[in-house]
A and B are shown apart, each in its own frame.
Chain A
Amino acid sequence: MRTTEKQFEVLVVGGGPAGLAAASSAAEHGVRVGLIDDNPALGGQIWRKGIAGTYPEAENWIRKLRSAEVEILCGARVFDHPSPNLLLAETQDHLLELRYRKLVLATGARERFLPFPGWTLPNAMGAGGLQALVKSGYSIAGKKVLLAGTGPLLLAVAAYLRTHGAEIVMICEQASFWQLTKFGVSLLKYRDKIAQGKTLRKDLAGVPFVTSSWPVAAEGNEVLKAVLISRRSKIEKIACDFLACGFHLVPNTELAALLGCRLRQGFVEVDQVQRTSREGIFCAGEPTGIGGVELSVVEGQIAGHAAAGHEDLASSFFAIRQKLRKFADALDRTFALRPELRKLAVEETIICRCEDVTHGRLKLHTSWRAAKLQTRCGMGPCQGRVCGPQTEFLFGWPPDSVRPPIFPARVESVGAPLRDVEPEYCEMRGEQ
């Protein structure tokens, strides 16, 4: 495997809205900027380029990056930080040594999944996951889809799937009608959000949308056939081909934690100009607080200007950031998860999908660390990214410290003398 070394004045990790804005803003100052992302194309999840089309905003940013000669490294995943101002990343065939003076973390967020009987069945997926699958070439036309979870993302995904021919059988929102009404009133302050809401309402006309409702089980033999939902304290069975769940988002803070950036309540702590507690490292977008695409772009611009040494320009974005953060707070309050959702998993329900560790085995333990050591929960290739947020929600276990490699990497890349172990196993090893 070849090793390539690259040097940047400003290196941005993550090619979603925050990362694109950060790289572009830093490059305005004529410094050498690099942008690395693990997906095959830029845009992140929200601006994921579909086979059927692209997002004009994303295209605008990408055009700016290209004209500013920002070096774009797609399909490359950061897995280690062996020494100061150095990150290691891997592509299909390359090891990349990335040296930088300033770093901007724009690592985004992932969906929160909640366990209930049958949630591991094929075709029971994340809402964003199903949207990504359709954007990347799977035809959803004619399929029956039930969406369940919380927040505006569910509606956006439902609208997307419907325009691509899916039959949306129901959208189950766990928040109450009353919470949504309060939220709707608070939206009146945000003209853009009202416009987005109107479009969604048009796209979803006629689709059953129910509040105070959530999935209690998914049924099927080797593939999903039906979902049992709780609605008005009764259980209803609804036949469908896909269940798309999304219980809000969890920030991707693993790299920030590895770099030693201080976290507060699960998010990366930043100052006025998006600077973390570590010298020369900035953070923008969802890892600093779940706030959506507009806030991510603004934070990215602030971080990009500041990382290139132009804090004066960064300050012009403070007012708009403040306004968007208030919106994010309203989202958090409205779509807070109800305690009933902690009770859905039964004894045999799998929590850790990598190692197939059940709820019954986990509940015997008192901490994430103890559960890991005794059951291998969180020790598979996802390294606890799916089950960690669940055990935190179910049992109140705070996450453990992060150790490299933060993603499974090839043995040659990690450089550990693991000759006695079969290569396949080494590739899959998590933290051990």
Chain B
Amino acid sequence: MLEEITLTVNGQSVRMPPGATVAAAIATASAFCRRSVSGEARTVLCGMGICFECRAEIDGRPHQRSCQIVCSPGMRVSTKGQTR
């Protein structure tokens, strides 16, 4: 088994297997991905880069589709503190 990757989601440390996506890390941290324009909490719908519900800020870049991005060590993911 390869070594796990440690990254942070809203400041909380999360360990993920190598190759895991940021969307999986956000779900593991029990966080939401975003608030909709009317304020609803949202998480991944399609898991394949189509629906844009999994958008999050990754290493300072806003609106990244977290289901299409693989976790890397030390990555900082922010969903503006939206946590269950």
Contact = CB atoms under 8 A, between A and B. Distances in A.
A132 interface: yes
Contacts of A214: none
Contacts of B17: 51, 137
A115 B40 CA distance: 15
B19 A136 contact: yes
A381 interface: yes
A386 B28 CA distance: 25
Interface in A325-353: 350, 353
Interface residues of B, number: 38
A420 interface: no
B23 A122 contact: no
A122 B24 contact: no
B84 to A, nearest CB: 6
Nearest to A138: B24
Given A122-B42, A386-B45, A136 B21 contact: yes
Contact of A353 (B16, B32, B42): B42
B16 A385 contact: no
Contacts of B47: 125-126, 128-133, 136
Given A51-B17, A120-B40, A136-B21, A40 B51 contact: no
Contact of A222 (B38, B52, B55, B84): B84
B63 A424 contact: yes
Given A120-B36, A136-B24, A428-B63, A39 B45 contact: no
A382 B51 contact: yes
Interface in B1-52: 16-21, 23-25, 27-28, 32, 36-38, 40-52
B24 A133 contact: yes
A122 B32 contact: yes
Interface of B: 16-21, 23-25, 27-28, 32, 36-38, 40-53, 55, 62-63, 67-71, 84
9 contacts: A77-B49, A122-B84, A125-B43, A125-B47, A126-B45, A136-B19, A136-B23, A356-B40, A386-B46
CB-CB nearest 7 A-B residue pairs: A137-B20, A132-B47, A129-B47, A137-B24, A136-B21, A138-B24, A122-B43
Given A121-B41, A129-B47, A129-B51, 11 more contacts: A110-B50, A128-B46, A128-B47, A136-B19, A137-B16, A137-B24, A138-B23, A353-B36, A353-B51, A382-B51, A386-B51
Interface of A: 38-40, 45, 49, 51, 75, 77, 92, 110-111, 113, 120-123, 125-126, 128-133, 136-139, 222-223, 252, 350, 353-356, 380-382, 385-386, 408, 424, 427-428
